[in-house]
Amino acid sequence: MTDAKVKDEQFKTSLTVTGMTCATCSRMVERSLSKVDGVVFAAVNLATETAFVVSDREIPKETLEAAIKNSGYGVTDERPEDLEKTRYLRIKKNLALSWLVTAPLMTLMVFHMTGRHMPYYFHMEFFGGLLAVFWAGRDAIKGAWIALSHFHANMDVLVVAGSAAAWLTSALAMAGLPVASFGAVGSMIMALHITGRYIESHLRDKASKEIRALLSIQAREARVVDGAGHEIMVPIEAVKEGMIVLVRPGERIPADGTVEGGVTSVDESMITGESLPAAKAEGDGVTGGSLNLTGAVRIKATRVGEDSFIARMASLIQEAQGAKVPIQAFADRVTNYFVPGVATFAVISALIWFFGAEKYGPFLDKAGEWIPWVTSVRDPASLAIFAFITTIVIACPCALGLATPMALITGTGAASRKGMIIRNAEAIQTARGVSVVVLDKTGTITQGSPAMAATDLTDRDLAAAASLESFSNHPLAKAIAGASEARLTVSGVEEITGEGVKGIVDGAEYFVGKPRDFSSYEEHLALGRTVVEVTKEGVHAGFIAVEDHIREDAAEGVKRLADMGITCVMATGDNEKTALAVAARVGITEVHAGVRPEDKLDLVRRLQSRGGKVLMTGDGMNDAAALKGADIGVAIGSGTDLAIDNADIVIVKGGISRLADAVSISRKTFAVIRQNLFWAFAYNVIAIPLAMAALLHPVIAEGAMAFSSISVILNSMRVK
């Protein structure tokens, strides 16, 4: 379980829920959590077995756990992989037992149906069913009891009702009543159900492995260097911010930090998707979990534990996988009435065949000429039980419940492997309508690592500007702060959004920001450089020309978006000449330069008024409002926390080409969701009437039900 405080005094909590087996289960947990005082949003994901809660105040975990338990389900602190392993082994044992009993029973049933009656056959069905249905299937019975005791029904209720009803016929036949025995069928229904759960668990585990893979690359121990220079091996949990750790070649970097000494190359492919090693030297940042390749380095830890990059990214993925897309609301409304509806249909079909066996029997005789599995039973009670069992078994709300979350798991997993984190699941549905992409210049089209290219400042004024900019979060601030190693005393720092930063440096007031007149800097602007002007006590002191190289994938990304029918628009606070020079090099024709933060938001709204959806991307504090206002906000992972917090998608590595990847993955994911829902609905619309008409055998029905759920999972995995 994890807790994280977020903006606007909201709190997010994730919990691992046990015992859920279908969409109805997850909906009941969700409903119970929503009733807790202070909860403003609750989403429960069946596929990942997680509950995600947003509250307007800090709610004790015990309160949320109690709400889940009151709905009949459990909460665990076990690691997901340990929980999955335990469940997998239990299902495997139950699977073996169920088929050990069912296989011989089905063989005997075939002999029995051909007229070769075995002595004590009904007794074998009866006692074999006790093992297969009530022992091997005890998890399903527990799930059914939890649901019924809380006055709702789930998939387990249908399976247990069908298998128990079939088993009961063997007891009636054993007692000498004139009822066809389907005891072996009851065992097979449960065996096939357990088989489906086994396959489903395996595929679901495989589809959600990205999070575990991300977390598994974290180091388990760290070599901490103390004040006396001694090396001490400590658990990763003991590493604190500010500690110096030594990482040797072949070891994983234990925490996010900065290289304090040494030179090496680092494999960051698991995190960024970039196959080539990245060179690291003193002052460079490193990410926990990446692999040190060539040299020993000393690293100062800056982010540890839940604040580390990997933990934050894994949390964002889990948050997205636990969320819902609007199309799921329709599926939820259907499944809400599905199980009671199926039970009603099953009773109706039983009554029809009980009272109409003689009238409709010839219909079955005719159908039997074409369909091999049509039952030969004509006794009214036997036909009624047959139709009831088949109708109960054929229904499959599991496919409906898994249709959306499974696609979200694979979609968000595919995005993470491409270096993107989809934070807001709704973006997957919204992206299909994106017609305009608004791009910030610095850090989006350019690399976001600008450096000083020219200046006419004195060393003293340059040191003052560098000292002042060291307090700023603007993407250009780092370049200016690095222009001088000297640091002067700074006070009264004030950042004027969209303009610059001012403050008192050694008793004099300095301002570093936009020039009042760009005409003096034509030469630098023509080269695509950004010019920052410095004033001292209100008097012009000089300028700094900063150059930020264009990302390698910028032109390719713009072209890919254009090929997808999406228009790219640049919106930057930089001057027009610099903006036009950069835009021309990447193929963007519509440019809005010199815009303030509120202007960016106005631009987004104007573009939205044209129709279609607008995707906004940026990396700075001045982009946050526009990111929030756009239909989809995309933040560059190297940007500020404010930008990331207001974004729907975070690009961990790369630039504009990742936007094309995000739109492509989102479109494909949503297409798969629609396919899943269509086939899940179509399957039930076709299968239930056939079952009510007694044209399906319970064994065929159970196999089709299991196949429906598995096909939804397999189709979802195509997103990869």
Q: Catalytic amino acids?
A: 440
Degrees (nearest 5) of the Cα angle 340, 344, 349? 150
Q: Which residues contact 686 (CB under 8 A, 6 or more apart)?
A: none
Per-residue burial over 648-657, b = 16 or more CB atoms within 10 Å of its CB, e = otherwise: bbbbbbbbbb
Which of 559, 558, 562, 533 is closest to 545 using CA atoms?
533
CA dist., res. 633 & res. 424, Å (int): 10
The structure tokens listed for 554 are 């910028």
Here the tokens at position 377 are 């039973």
Torsion, CA 627, CA 633, CA 634, CA 637, rounded to 10: 60
The answer to whether 46 and 314 have CB atoms below 8 angstroms apart is: no
Q: Which of 636, 715, 115, 133 is nearest to 407 (CA)?
A: 715
Between β-strands 613-618 and 632-636, what pairing exists: parallel, antiparallel or unpaired? Answer: parallel
Yes or no: say if 655 and 666 are a contact pair by the CB < 8 Å rule.
Answer: no
Tokens representing 72?
A: 């009949």
Q: Which residues contact 668 (CB under 8 A, 6 or more apart)?
A: 411, 718, 719
Buried b vs exposed e over 273-291: b needs ≥16 C-beta within 10 Å?
beeebbebeeebebbbbbb
Cα–Cα distance, 205 to 178 (Å, whole number): 47
- Positions of E strands within 523-626: 530-536, 539-547, 567-571, 590-592, 613-618
Handedness of CA 148, 151, 152, 158 (dihedral sign): positive
Are 406 and 203 in contact, with CB atoms under 8 Å apart?
no
Rounded alpha-carbon distances, angstroms, from residue 543 to 363, 379, 459, 550: 93, 98, 12, 22
Give the angle 548-551-554 at the CA atoms, nearest 5°: 130
